[in-house]
Chains A and B, each alone.
Chain A
Amino acid sequence: MEAATARLGKGGSRRRRYGTGERRLALAMLSPSMIVIALVAAYPIGYAIWLSLNEYSVRVPGLSRFAGFDNYTEAFASPEFWQAVLVTFMFTAISVSLELIVGLGMALAMHEAFRGRGVLRTVVLVPWAVLTVVSAITWRTIFEPNLGLAPQLLSNLGLPGADVVWLGEEGYSLAVMILADVWKTAPFMALLLLAGLQVISDDVYDAAKVDGASTMQRFRRITLPLLAPAILVALIFRTLDALRIFDLPYVLTRGANNTTTLSLLAHQELTSNRLIGYGSALSVLTFIIVMAVSFLYIRTVGGNIRSLVEE
Chain B
Amino acid sequence: MEAGAVTRPGTAVAERGKVAERRAPRRNWVRPALLWIAVALICVFCLLPFYWLINVSLKTGTDLSSADLIPPNPSLDNYKSIFENDDFISALRNSTIITTITTFLALLFGSFAAYALARLRFRFKFLVLAVVLSISTFPPIAIAAPIFKLWTDVGLYNTYTGLIIPYLTFALPLAIYILASFFKEIPKELEEAALVDGATHFQAFRKVVLPLAAPGLVTAGLLTAFFVWNEFLLAVTLTSSPSAYTVPVSVANFTGSTEFEVPLGTISAASVVITIPLVALVIIFQKRIVAGMTAGAVKG
Contact = CB atoms under 8 A, between A and B. Distances in A.
A120 B150 CA distance: 46
Interface stretch (B76-84, B213-221, B286-294): B286-294
A13 to B, nearest CB: 6
Given A40-B168, A138-B49, A129 B278 contact: yes
Chain B interface bracket (under 10, 10 to 19, 20 to 34, 35 or more): 35 or more
Interface string A27-51: 1111011101101110111011001
A209 to B, nearest CB: 8
A165 B114 CA distance: 50
Interface in B1-39: 1-4, 7-9, 31-32, 35, 38-39
How would you classify the secondary structure of chain B's contact residues: helix, strand, loop or mixed? helix
B244 interface: no
B149 A237 contact: no
Contact of B113 (A29, A137, A202, A276): A29
A113 B113 contact: no
A48 B140 CA distance: 12
B49 A287 contact: no
A36 B176 CA distance: 13
B35 A114 contact: yes
A14 B137 contact: no
A121 B286 contact: yes
A85 to B, nearest CB: 14
Interface in B268-299: 268, 271, 274-275, 278-279, 281-283, 286, 289-290, 293-294, 296-299
Contact of A26 (B32, B121, B237, B274): B121
A287 B142 contact: yes
B101 to A, nearest CB: 13
Interface in B149-190: 149-150, 165-166, 168-169, 172-173, 176-177, 180-181, 184, 188-189
Contacts, number: 348
B146 interface: yes
A188 interface: yes
A86 to B, nearest CB: 18
B135 interface: yes
A131 interface: yes
A279 interface: yes
B142 A283 contact: yes
A133 B248 contact: yes
Contacts of A28: 112
A283 B141 contact: yes
Nearest to A6: B189
A129 to B, nearest CB: 4
B117 interface: yes
A36 B165 contact: yes
Given A32-B113, A120-B42, A309-B117, A112 B3 contact: yes
3 closest A-B pairs (Cβ-Cβ)?
A287-B142, A152-B67, A113-B4
Given A26-B121, A32-B112, 6 more contacts: A112-B7, A134-B248, A191-B300, A192-B297, A246-B140, A301-B298
Interface of B: 1-4, 7-9, 31-32, 35, 38-39, 42-43, 45-50, 52-53, 56, 64-67, 69, 108-110, 112-113, 115-118, 120-123, 125-126, 128-135, 137-150, 165-166, 168-169, 172-173, 176-177, 180-181, 184, 188-189, 192, 195-196, 201-202, 226, 229-230, 232-233, 236-237, 247-248, 251-252, 264, 267-268, 271, 274-275, 278-279, 281-283, 286, 289-290, 293-294, 296-300
